[in-house]
C-alpha cells in the first residue's frame, strides 16, 4: 500500500481488511443491490469514446469496467484501498478483455493522481469515507482538467435510507449502537446538499448540481439469500454478541427481511444524490457555475 493519510488510517485498515473481505466475497450482491442506480449515474457521467476517466473508490470495479467500455479509445483508472477488491477488479477486467483499464492501490485523498490528467472523475459510493474531504476533493480537482466533470453517486441522509437502521436495529439486541455521523466519514457523509456544496466549492469545483434519485435497493430473491447477505454485512456487530443474543438477532433480522419480501425479492426504499460538478478553470473564480466543456 502506498502512503495513507493519518486521517484515513482506520478506514484503510477496514477496507484493506475485514470490510474489503466482505465486499469482495459479496461483489455480485453489492452490484445487484444498487443496480437500479447504475444507468442514471452513467448517463450523468456522459463518458465519451475518447474520455480519460478516474473511478475513485472503485472497489470490485463494475463502474470502472462500464466506463472502459464507453471510453473505448480513451482510458480508465480505478483507485481503491482494498487489495482484495482490486485483485478481483483486475481479474474481471481481464476476463472481459478490457485493455484500456488499470487499477491502483492508493489513498485518493493524498495520492499523486496527476495534474489535469482526466476529463471525467466518477465514483459510486466511494467518496464518503475521507478523513479530510476538502483535501481529498482538492486532490481530485487537481487531477481533473479544467472544465472536466466530477460525477458522484452518494447516499442521501440516513433518514432517507431506512434499510440502514432496519439492519442495524435488527442486530442491536438491546445495544445502543451509534449512528454514522452525518458529517462523516461514513456512508451518509454527503447526504446533506449544503455540505456537499460547501466541500466541493472549497475544493475548487463550480457550484454542484444535486439530482435526487429514489430507487429500491435489492438484497436477494428470497429471505434466505437476503439473510445470508445482510448477516455477512453485519458480521462485526453479530460477532460481539453471545450465542443467545446472536440467535435473537438472526431471528429479528429474518422477520425484518420477511416484511420486505415481495414480487421483486427483498427490497427497501432508498435515496441517492447524483452530484455533478465541473472543475473551475480558475479555482478562485466561483462565478460561472457548471461552465466549461
Ligand atoms: C462502498 S464501497 C464502493 C465500491 C465501488 N465504488 C462500488 O460501487 O462497488 C467504498 C469503496 O471506497 C474505497 N475507499 C474508501 N476510502 C478511500 C480512499 N481514501 N481512497 C481510495 N479508496 C477509498 C473503499 O476501499 C471501498 O472499496
Q: Which residues line ligand 1 (CB under 6 A)?
A: 8, 11, 15, 30, 57-60, 62-63, 79-82, 85, 107-109, 124-126, 129-130
**Stretch 68-82: mean pLDDT, rounded?**
98
Per-residue pLDDT at 55: 98
Q: Is the pLDDT of residue 84 over 90?
A: yes
258 CA → ligand 1 middle, Å: 30
52 CA → ligand 1 middle, Å: 20
Q: Is the pLDDT of residue 284 over 80?
A: no
* CA end-to-end distance (rounded Å), the chain: 35
**Stretch 134-143: mean pLDDT, rounded?**
98
Q: What is the pTM of this model?
A: 0.95
Per-residue pLDDT at 280: 86
Which atom of ligand 1 is nearest to 85's Cα? 27
- Least trusted range by pLDDT, from 51-60, 181-190, 267-276: 181-190
Per-residue pLDDT at 289: 38
User: What gap in Å lies between CA 45 and CA 174, rounded to an integer?
Assistant: 44
Give the mean pLDDT of the chain.
Answer: 94
Coil, strand, or helix at residue 165?
Answer: helix
Where are the alpha helices (H) located in the chain, listed in sequence order? 9-15, 18-25, 27-33, 38-45, 62-70, 83-95, 133-143, 162-170, 193-202, 223-233, 235-239, 243-259
For atom 23 of ligand 1, the residue with the nearest CA is: 57
Q: Is the pLDDT of residue 134 over 90?
A: yes
For atom 27 of ligand 1, the residue with the nearest CA is: 59
177, containing H or E segment: none
234 CA → ligand 1 middle, Å: 18
Class of domain 6-157+180-218+271-278: alpha beta
Which atom of ligand 1 is nearest to 81's Cα? 25
Per-residue pLDDT at 282: 62
Per-residue pLDDT at 1: 66
Banded pLDDT at 290 (limits 50, 70, 90):
very low
38 CA → ligand 1 middle, Å: 16
115 CA → ligand 1 middle, Å: 22
Q: Is the pLDDT of residue 203 over 90?
A: yes
Q: Is the pLDDT of residue 220 over 50?
A: yes
Which atom of ligand 1 is nearest to 82's Cα? 25
Per-residue pLDDT at 2: 78
Q: Is the pLDDT of residue 206 over 70?
A: yes
Q: Is the pLDDT of residue 288 over 50?
A: no
Q: Give the pLDDT confidence of 145-168 residue by residue, as tens digits.
A: 998 999 999 999 999 999 999 999
Per-residue pLDDT at 184: 84
Coil, strand, or helix at residue 149?
Answer: strand
58 CA → ligand 1 middle, Å: 6
Q: Confirm if 56 and 123 have CB atoms less than 8 A apart.
A: yes
Per-residue pLDDT at 31: 98
Domain extent listing, the chain: 6-157+180-218+271-278
Q: Give the pLDDT confidence of 5-28 residue by residue, as tens digits.
A: 999 999 999 999 999 999 999 999
Which atom of ligand 1 is nearest to 55's Cα? 6
Which atom of ligand 1 is nearest to 79's Cα? 21
80 CA → ligand 1 middle, Å: 6
Per-residue pLDDT at 30: 97
**Stretch 93-109: mean pLDDT, rounded?**
98
For atom 6 of ligand 1, the residue with the nearest CA is: 58
Amino acid at each position: 500500500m502506498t502512503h495513507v493519510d493519518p486521517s484515513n488510517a482506520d478506514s484503510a485498515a477496514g477496507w484493506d481488511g475485514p470490510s474489503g473481505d466482505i465486499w469482495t466475497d459479496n461483489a455480485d450482491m453489492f452490484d445487484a443491490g444498487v443496480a437500479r442506480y447504475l444507468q442514471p449515474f452513467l448517463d450523468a457521467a456522459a463518458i465519451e469514446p475518447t474520455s480519460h476517466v478516474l473511478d475513485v473508490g472503485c472497489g470490485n470495479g463494475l463502474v470502472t469496467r462500464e466506463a472502459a467500455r464507453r471510453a473505448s479509445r480513451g482510458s480508465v483508472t480505478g483507485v481503491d484501498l482494498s487489495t482484495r477488491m482490486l485483485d478481483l477488479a483486475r481479474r474481471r477486467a481481464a476476463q472481459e478483455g478490457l485493455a484500456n483499464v488499470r487499477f491502483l492501490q492508493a489513498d485518493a485523498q493524498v495520492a499523486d493522481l496527476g495534474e489535469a490528467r482526466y476529463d471525467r472523475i466518477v465514483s459510486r459510493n466511494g467518496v464518503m469515507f475521507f478523513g479530510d474531504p476538502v483535501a481529498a476533493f482538492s486532490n481530485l480537482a487537481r487531477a481533473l482538467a479544467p472544465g472536466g466533470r466530477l460525477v458522484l453517486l452518494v447516499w442521501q441522509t440516513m433518514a432517507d435510507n431506512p434499510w440502514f437502521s432496519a439492519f442495524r436495529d435488527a442486530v442491536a439486541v438491546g445495544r445502543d449502537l451509534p449512528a454514522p455521523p452525518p458529517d462523516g466519514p461514513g456512508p451518509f457523509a454527503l447526504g446533506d446538499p449544503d455540505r456537499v456544496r460547501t466541500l466541493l466549492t472549497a475544493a475548487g469545483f463550480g457550484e454542484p448540481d444535486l439530482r435526487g434519485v429514489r430507487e429500491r435497493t435489492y438484497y436477494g430473491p428470497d429471505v434466505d439469500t437476503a439473510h445470508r447477505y445482510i448477516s455477512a454485512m453485519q458480521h462485526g456487530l453479530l460477532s460481539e454478541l453471545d450465542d443467545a443474543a446472536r440467535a435473537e438477532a438472526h431471528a429479528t433480522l429474518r422477520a425484518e427481511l420477511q416484511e420486505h419480501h415481495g414480487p421483486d425479492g427483498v427490497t427497501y426504499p432508498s435515496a441517492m444524490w447524483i452530484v455533478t460538478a465541473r472543475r473551475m478553470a480558475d479555482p478562485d473564480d466561483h462565478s460561472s457555475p457548471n461552465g466549461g466543456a
